[in-house]
């Protein structure tokens, strides 16, 4: 039975366990990371990679817990930045599009046909313009750490091939909840409807919308063709970088060592994800074509027609983005 000695031993063991638990919880700190897409996509994999590297380099003292599918903002991805700024979310790997309603400078990346290729994107993010964008984020209470990439966004629809602006006439296109997109697709003669990614998939399935735009990785992994999107136009009209970032107060509460680790691992995870996303583009396109999607590439002339049709978007948005920032980006692109 329970002898006094045995009870003492049990009490000692319990006390030991309590001390151990206390010291473990004092050391381990869990931080939430919001993403829109899960780890079925490069975007979600970027966040998981970051978490993995942080766990490893802090010896488990910091744990990043990734919450995909915009679940921390109830599916409303355009509220992610505000939630991170207010501290509802500790960190995020987020899209420049989704944060642009709160950080107007981020609309730089959505200016139609402004960034012609990957080298242009790298020249912008890696140079003075990129620093200006990071300062704009920081001035709003969020610390940006590194870049990732959702990718060049391509146009799909269920009606027919699109090779000139008039092909978009009257087509209902799902766009993200960022006002610039409304302007771009209106300028092109389409009928844009803003909705979250969560709402986009059912809208495509029921045919409530005729088309959408997203990078090839999203089109491929989400099997957008299987909801009737059988026409895809490769028009590279904009690139959608991702940004790894942390709430300011969370950042301030971390040790110098942990901050350094968070930053260097974000850079590593971002570089890894950008390289992977780009490498996979051609095999994704091949897979999409194999599934029967009709792919349209634009001639130089057709491309120019889209550029001309969207000039008014530049006129309206450059003052909001900041002419200096746009100029710094333009120079970086020219010098690439
Ligand atoms: O909603 C979209 O289209 C997505 C998933 O690409 C973004 O979050 C910008």
Read off the pLDDT of residues 200-248 as tens digits, 9 standing for 90 and up.
999 999 999 999 999 999 999 999 999 999 999 999 999 999 999 999 9
Atom of ligand 1 nearest to the CA of 43: 5
- Place 18 in a pLDDT band, splitting at 50, 70 and 90: low
254 CA distance to ligand 1 centroid (A)?
31
What pLDDT sits at residue 1? 44
Q: How far apart are CA 60 and CA 265, in angstroms?
A: 14
What pLDDT sits at residue 331? 98
Instruction: Give the chain's largest Cα–Cα span.
Output: 92
In the predicted model, what is the mean pLDDT of the chain?
A: 94
Any ligand 1 atom below 6 A from CB of 178: no
CB within 8 A of 100, min separation 6: which ones?
106, 107, 110, 178, 180
In the chain, % of residues over pLDDT 90: 92
Q: Is the pLDDT of residue 2 over 80?
A: no
CA-derived radius of gyration, the chain: 23
**Ligand 1 atom 4, closest CA:** 197
- What are the tokens at 88? 């509802």
198 CA distance to ligand 1 centroid (A)?
9
Structural domains of the chain ordered from first start = 29-334 (3.40.190.170)
Q: Is the pLDDT of residue 68 over 90?
A: yes
Any ligand 1 atom below 6 A from CB of 84: no
pLDDT per position as a tens digit, 179-208: 999 999 999 999 999 999 999 999 999 999
Report the length, in residues, of the chain.
Answer: 336
Q: How far apart are CA 82 and CA 202, in angstroms?
A: 26
CB 250 within 8 A of CB 96: no
Q: Is the pLDDT of residue 171 over 60?
A: yes
Any ligand 1 atom below 6 A from CB of 37: yes
Q: Is the pLDDT of residue 257 over 90?
A: yes
**Ligand 1 atom 8, closest CA:** 36
Residue 32's region, left for phi above 0, alpha for psi from -120 to 50, else beta, is beta
Other Cβ atoms less than 10 A from the Cβ of 57: the count is 18
- Place 14 in a pLDDT band, splitting at 50, 70 and 90: low
Atom of ligand 1 nearest to the CA of 200: 1
Other Cβ atoms less than 10 A from the Cβ of 83: the count is 20
pLDDT per position as a tens digit, 73-130: 999 999 999 999 999 999 999 999 999 999 999 999 999 999 999 999 999 999 999 9
121 CA distance to ligand 1 centroid (A)?
18
What pLDDT sits at residue 84? 98
Atom of ligand 1 nearest to the CA of 153: 6
């Amino acid at each position: 039975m329970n002898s006094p000695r045995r009870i003492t031993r049990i009490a000692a063991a319990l006390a030991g366990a309590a001390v151990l638990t206390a010291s473990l919880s004092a050391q381990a700190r869990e931080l939430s990371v919001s993403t829109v897409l899960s780890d079925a996509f490069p975007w979600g994999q970027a966040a998981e990679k970051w978490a993995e590297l942080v766990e490893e380099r802090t010896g488990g003292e910091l744990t990043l817990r990734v919450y995909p599918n915009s679940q921390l903002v109830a599916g409303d991805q355009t509220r992610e930045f505000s939630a991170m700024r207010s501290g509802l979310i500790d960190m995020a790997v987020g899209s420049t599009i989704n944060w642009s309603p709160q950080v107007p400078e981020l609309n730089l990346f959505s200016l139609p046909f402004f960034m012609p290729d990957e080298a242009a994107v790298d020249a912008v993010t890696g140079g003075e313009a990129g620093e200006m964008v990071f300062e704009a984020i920081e001035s709003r209470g969020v610390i940006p750490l590194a870049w990732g990439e959702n990718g060049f966004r391509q146009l799909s629809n269920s009606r027919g091939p699109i090779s000139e602006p008039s092909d978009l006439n009257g087509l209902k296109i799902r766009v993200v909840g960022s006002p610039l997109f409304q302007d771009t697709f209106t300028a092109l003669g389409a009928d844009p409807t803003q909705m979250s990614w969560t709402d986009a998939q059912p809208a495509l399935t029921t045919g409530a919308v005729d088309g959408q735009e997203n990078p090839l990785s999203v089109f491929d992994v989400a099997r957008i063709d299987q909801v009737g999107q059988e026409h895809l136009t490769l028009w590279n009209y904009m690139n959608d970088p991702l940004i790894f970032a942390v709430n300011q107060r969370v950042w301030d509460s971390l040790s110098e060592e942990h901050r350094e680790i968070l930053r260097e691992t974000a850079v590593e995870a971002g570089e890894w994800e950008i390289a992977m996303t780009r490498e996979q583009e051609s095999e994704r396109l091949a897979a999409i074509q194999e599934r029967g999607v009709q792919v349209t590439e634009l001639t130089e002339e057709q491309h120019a027609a889209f550029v001309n049709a969207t000039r008014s978007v530049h006129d309206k948005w450059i003052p909001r983005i900041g002419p200096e920032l746009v100029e710094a980006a333009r120079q970086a692109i020219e010098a690439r």
